Amino acid sequence: MPDALLPWAFPLALVAAVILTALSITIAAVALSLLAVVALGVWRARYLKKHPPEAELSNRPFWKF
C-alpha cells in the first residue's frame, strides 16, 4: 500500500463499516416490520373465523356503537 493512502485506510474502513451496518439494520427492520404486518393479518383472519362478529354489529356503521 502506498504511504500516501495509509493515513486514510482506517477512517475509510470505519466509514464503510458504519454504512454497511446502518444498511443491514435498516433492511432487517423493514423485513421484521413486513413479517409483523403479515402475522397480524393472519392472526386477525384466524381469530375472526373462530369468533365472527355479531350480525347486528356488522351491519351498523362503526361510528354508531
Output the pTM of the full model.
0.59
pLDDT tens digits, one per residue of 19-54: 999 999 999 999 999 999 999 999 999 998 998 877
Residue 1 has pLDDT above 90, yes or no: no
Residue 16 has pLDDT above 70, yes or no: yes
- Cα(31)–Cα(36) distance, integer angstroms: 9
pLDDT band at 55 (very low <50, low <70, confident <90, very high): low
Which residue, chain included where needed, has cell 402475522? 39
Cell numbers describing residue 15: 466509514
Three-class HEC string of the chain: CCCCCHHHHHHHHHHHHHHHHHHHHHHHHHHHHHHHHHHHHHHHHHHHHHCCCCHHHHCCCHHHC
Residue 65 has pLDDT above 80, yes or no: no
